[in-house]
Amino acid sequence: MASTLVDLVKITSNSTGTGAITLGSSVAGYRGFEALTNGEVYSYSIQDGDAWEFGRGTFMSATGQFIRTPIDSSDGGAAINLRQNAQIAFVALSEDLDAVQLSNAAVAAAEQVAIDAAQVAADRAIVEAGSKTVVNGEAVYPNTYASTVPQGVINLSNDGITTGSGGTPGTYAGGVTGGPNGFSWEYSIGLDGKIASYEITSPGISTDTTAPTLSYGSGSITGAVVPTATVAARIAQASSYWAISTDGSTLDLYSNVAGSPSPVLDPTGDQVKVFVSAGAEKVVDAAESWAQSPTAPDPLDPTSKSAKGWAGEAQAQSTNLSNATFAKYFVFPGFVRSDNGRIDTTTTPGVYVNTGYLDLDEINLAEINLQGGTGAYSIAYYTSAFALISGVAASSNDAYVNTIPAIPSNAAWAALSARATQGSQRLLVAVKPAKFLDGQPDAGLMGNGNLFTLLRSPGYYNNASPPVLVADPNWINSDPIKVTPGYQISYDAYASTTVSILRYTDASGAYAGRVLGTAANTRNTINAIVPGAAAYTGSIFGTTLTVTAIASGTLSVGSVVGGASAGTIITALGTGTGGTGTYTVNNSQTLASGALTQPAAQFAQMSAGNPGALGAAATSPTMPNTIKYGPAASTGLAAPSTLEIAVGDNLKTYITANGFVTSTGTTPNADANWRRTPSRLTMRAAGEGKRYIAYEARGSNSMSLISAVDGSGTVVGSVLGSGSFTQFKGTFEVPDTAVSVHLCHAAAYPATFQYLIQQPATGAPVIAPTANIGTIPDSRSSTQYPTYRTLLENRFGCSVQQLGLPGATVQTTSADTYLSTVTSALPNPRMIVILPGGNDAGAAGSVGTFSASSPNGVAGEAVKTIPTAPYPATPTGLSFIEYIYITGAKLRDFYKDIRTRAGIVGGDTEAQKSAKLAAVQKTLIVWITDLPQQRGDASNPFSLPANHERKRQAVIEVAKLLKMPFVDIQGKYPIDMSLEPFYVAPTTPGINNGNLTEDGLHWNEVLQSVGVDMLAAEVG
For residue 847, is pLDDT > 80?
A: yes
Residue 548 in domain: yes
Handedness of CA 171, 175, 181, 183 (dihedral sign): negative
What does pLDDT average to over the chain? 77
Residues 847 and 961 both lie in one domain = yes
pLDDT digits (tens, 9 = 90+) for 31-58: 888 888 877 788 889 988 888 898 888 8
Of 352, 403, 361, residue with least CA distance to 382? 361
What is the pLDDT, as a whole number, of residue 669?
86
CB atoms within 10 A of CB 905: 10
For residue 402, is pLDDT > 90?
A: no
332: Cα separation from own chain's centroid: 27
Helical (H) or strand (E) element with 58 = strand 51-60
| Cα–Cα distance measured from residue 12 to residue 154, given in angstroms and rounded to the nearest whole number | 61
For residue 225, is pLDDT > 70?
A: yes
Q: Enumerate the H helices of 800-940 as residue ranges.
A: 816-825, 880-895, 898-902, 910-918
In this prediction, residue 913 has a pLDDT band, given cuts at 50, 70 and 90, of confident
What is the pLDDT, as a whole number, of residue 596?
95
For residue 443, is pLDDT > 60?
A: no
Residues 86 and 171 both lie in one domain = no
Which is higher by pLDDT, 393 or 857? 393
Contacts of 862 (CB under 8 A, 6+ apart): 845, 848, 849, 879
Find out whether 751 and 745 touch, Cβ atoms under 8 Å.
yes
pLDDT digits (tens, 9 = 90+) for 600-637: 987 888 999 887 666 545 555 557 788 877 666 433 32
Average pLDDT over residues 430-446: 36
Average pLDDT over residues 682-693: 69
Size (the chain), residues: 1020
- Tell me whether the omega of the peptide bond preceding residue 611 falls within 30 degrees of 0, making it cis: no
| Cα–Cα distance measured from residue 25 to residue 9, given in angstroms and rounded to the nearest whole number | 11
Residues 821 and 969 both lie in one domain = yes
Q: What percent of the chain has pLDDT over 70?
A: 78
pLDDT digits (tens, 9 = 90+) for 53-73: 988 888 877 677 888 888 888
Residues 384 and 492 both lie in one domain = no
pLDDT digits (tens, 9 = 90+) for 324-381: 567 777 877 888 888 888 888 777 767 888 888 887 766 777 678 888 888 899 999 9
Instruction: Please tell me which of 155-159, 401-405, 725-729, 755-759 the model is most confident about, judged by mean pLDDT.
Output: 401-405
The domain boundary, picked from 240, 260, 290, lies at 290
What is the pLDDT, as a whole number, of residue 632?
62
What is the pLDDT, as a whole number, of residue 71?
85
Residue 622 in domain: no
Average pLDDT over residues 826-843: 90
0.95 surpassed by pTM: no
CA-to-CA dists, residue 478 to 392, 461, 1002, angstroms: 28, 10, 49
Could you give the angle at which helices 786-796 and 1005-1019 cross, rounded to 10 degrees? 30
What is the pLDDT, as a whole number, of residue 543?
94
What is the pLDDT, as a whole number, of residue 996?
82
The domain boundary, picked from 92, 109, 129, lies at 92
CA-to-CA dists, residue 468 to 297, 485, 493, 531, 610, angstroms: 33, 23, 20, 20, 18
**8-state DSSP, 443:** G
DSSP string, 642-662: GPPP-TT-BGGGG--EES---
What is the pLDDT, as a whole number, of residue 383?
80
CA-to-CA dists, residue 512 to 38, 255, 459, 755, angstroms: 19, 57, 20, 32
Average pLDDT over residues 243-260: 79
pLDDT digits (tens, 9 = 90+) for 625-674: 888 776 664 333 222 233 344 444 556 667 778 898 998 889 888 888 88
Residue 32 in domain: yes
Residues 740 and 776 both lie in one domain = no
The CATH number linked to 948 is 3.40.50.1110
Residues 748 and 776 both lie in one domain = no
Of 253, 220, 17, residue with least CA distance to 137? 253
Helical (H) or strand (E) element with 958 = helix 945-961
Of 461, 532, 447, 471, residue with least CA distance to 501? 461
For residue 537, is pLDDT > 90?
A: yes
What is the pLDDT, as a whole number, of residue 91?
83
Residues paired with 543 in a beta bridge: none
What is the pLDDT, as a whole number, of residue 874?
94
Residues paired with 997 in a beta bridge: 1003
In this prediction, residue 321 has a pLDDT band, given cuts at 50, 70 and 90, of very low
Residues 494 and 589 both lie in one domain = yes
Q: Enumerate the H helices of 94-161 as residue ranges.
A: 104-123
Residue 26 in domain: yes
Residue 311 in domain: no
What is the pLDDT, as a whole number, of residue 653?
63
Helical (H) or strand (E) element with 589 = strand 581-598
Find out whether 560 and 598 touch, Cβ atoms under 8 Å.
yes
pLDDT digits (tens, 9 = 90+) for 121-154: 333 222 222 233 344 445 677 888 888 998 988 8
Residues 599 and 701 both lie in one domain = no
Residues 596 and 487 both lie in one domain = yes
What is the pLDDT, as a whole number, of residue 69?
83
Residue 184 in domain: yes
In this prediction, residue 106 has a pLDDT band, given cuts at 50, 70 and 90, of very low
| Cα–Cα distance measured from residue 570 to residue 775, given in angstroms and rounded to the nearest whole number | 55
| Cα–Cα distance measured from residue 339 to residue 655, given in angstroms and rounded to the nearest whole number | 31
Residues paired with 359 in a beta bridge: 413
Residues 888 and 953 both lie in one domain = yes
List the end-to-end C-alpha distance of the chain, in Å, as a whole number. 29
Could you give the angle at which helices 945-961 and 880-895 cross, rounded to 10 degrees? 30
CA-to-CA dists, residue 327 to 474, 507, 608, 894, angstroms: 19, 29, 22, 43
Residue 624 in domain: no
For residue 235, is pLDDT > 70?
A: yes
| Cα–Cα distance measured from residue 661 to residue 614, given in angstroms and rounded to the nearest whole number | 38
What is the pLDDT, as a whole number, of residue 450?
67
- Side-chain-side CA neighbours of residue 775 (13 Å): 28
What is the pLDDT, as a whole number, of residue 135?
42
Domain that holds residue 481: 456-609
Residue 485 in domain: yes
| Cα–Cα distance measured from residue 17 to residue 91, given in angstroms and rounded to the nearest whole number | 22
Residues 829 and 932 both lie in one domain = yes
Residues 160 and 253 both lie in one domain = yes
| Cα–Cα distance measured from residue 117 to residue 297, given in angstroms and rounded to the nearest whole number | 15
In this prediction, residue 684 has a pLDDT band, given cuts at 50, 70 and 90, of low
Find out whether 37 and 57 touch, Cβ atoms under 8 Å.
no
Q: Which amino acid is at 405?
A: P
The domain boundary, picked from 758, 787, 813, lies at 758
Q: How many contiguous H segments (helices) and E segments (strands) does the chain have?
A: 12, 58
pLDDT digits (tens, 9 = 90+) for 959-991: 888 888 888 888 777 787 888 888 887 677 777
In this prediction, residue 317 has a pLDDT band, given cuts at 50, 70 and 90, of very low
Of 681, 595, 702, 600, residue with least CA distance to 638? 681
What is the pLDDT, as a whole number, of residue 614?
60
In this prediction, residue 590 has a pLDDT band, given cuts at 50, 70 and 90, of very high
Number of domains in the chain: 6
Residues paired with 441 in a beta bridge: none
